[in-house]
Amino acid sequence: MPELPEVETVRRSLKRLVGGKTIRDVDVFVPKMVRNLDVSKFRQHIENKTIIDISRIGKYLLFHLEDWILVSHLRMEGRYFIKHLDEAKDKHEHLIFYFTDGTTMRYHDTRKFGTFDLIKQENLSSFEPVQKMGPEPFDQEMTVDYLYPILKRKTIAIKSALLDQHIIAGLGNIYVNEVLFLCGLHPETPSHKCRKKDVKNIIKYSQEVLEEAIKRGGTTIRSYTSSLGVTGRFQQQLKVHTKEVCPTCESPIEKIKVGGRGTYYCKKCQKKRY
């Protein structure tokens, strides 16, 4: 599943490749992917609009189309490809945006879990997923004063708390495993057992891990490869996720499930607190 660094990498590539282009038309082959409008309205609002900017909130990509914003979530397998108009349609291409310059942007998704919402610019702040999303590690609001009291009220595993997008946005499974290793926190530590010092480390290492991953174009794991020819090189930097030996103490890395998610940690470096 693409995580924040992959989505950020896709955003930067798309901005470079399709920023400023004008959409002549759009074909929607899987209508259920467009969530908030019927397809005819969706097409009508998008036609002849120019992509002014592409931004990102958490794992949502935002295409700014003059007065409208197209919100795209890649979910498990979504990717974008830029192809010439004449290139044959792949069976996994479910939306095709035709630009006035003869190129196309194709949304490719083998699982069809990806979603599109088209909203008026002025309604962005009330768009539910965005409204409910907590700040990202890089945001100014992400401080010990913000995060510590929230964690103090929760008894769930710190791993699950950090995956909760309402608390902290954009930190997915791979990166939470890495952050907890760097903090020396056992993934099953109850959230309220985190001290202020731990919270400070969580913020610091979240920023560091994400920054490094973005710099390297994200992490390529299993079926996910970033579109547009970007290869994630962060995998080489992973310390515990999918690893067998701890890089610090050389103990074997443990693999467990926390909240149903594959969790890797070092028993020795990440001691459990009760």
Dist CA 153 CA 256 (whole Å): 25
CA distance 262 to 258: 7
**Residue whose CB is less far from Zn ion, 128 or 244:** 244
Containing 71, the helix (H) or strand (E) segment is strand 68-73
Among 249, 256, 262, 273, binds Zn ion (CB under 5 A): 249
Least Å distance, CB 249 to Zn ion, is 3
> Cα-atom radius of gyration of the chain, to the nearest Å?
20
**Residue 268 appears among annotated catalytic residues:** no
Total residues contacting Zn ion by CB under 5 A comes to: 7
For the question of residue 137 being annotated catalytic, the response is no
With CB under 5 A as the contact rule, the residue among 71, 119, 210, 246 that binds Zn ion is 246
Contact status: 273 vs Zn ion (CB under 5 A): no
Q: Which is nearer to Zn ion, 174 or 266 (CB)?
A: 266
CA angle in degrees (0–180, nearest 5) for 207-189-274: 150
Interacting residue with Zn ion among 69, 171, 209, 269 (CB under 5 A): 269
> How many residues would you count in the chain?
274
Confirm whether 59 is a catalytic residue.
yes
User: Is residue 253 at the binding interface for Zn ion, with CB under 5 A as the rule?
Assistant: no
- Give the number of other Cβ atoms within 10 Å of residue 223's Cβ: 10
Quickly tell me which residue has 């103090």 as its tokens.
Answer: 152
Distance CA 125, CA 137 (A): 20
Among 12, 193, 261, 267, the active-site one is 261
Residue 10 or 182: the one with the smaller Cβ distance to Zn ion is: 182
Active-site residue identified among 56, 59, 106, 159? 59
Is 212 known to be catalytic?
Answer: no
Query: Looking at the annotation, which residues are catalytic?
Result: 2-3, 59, 261
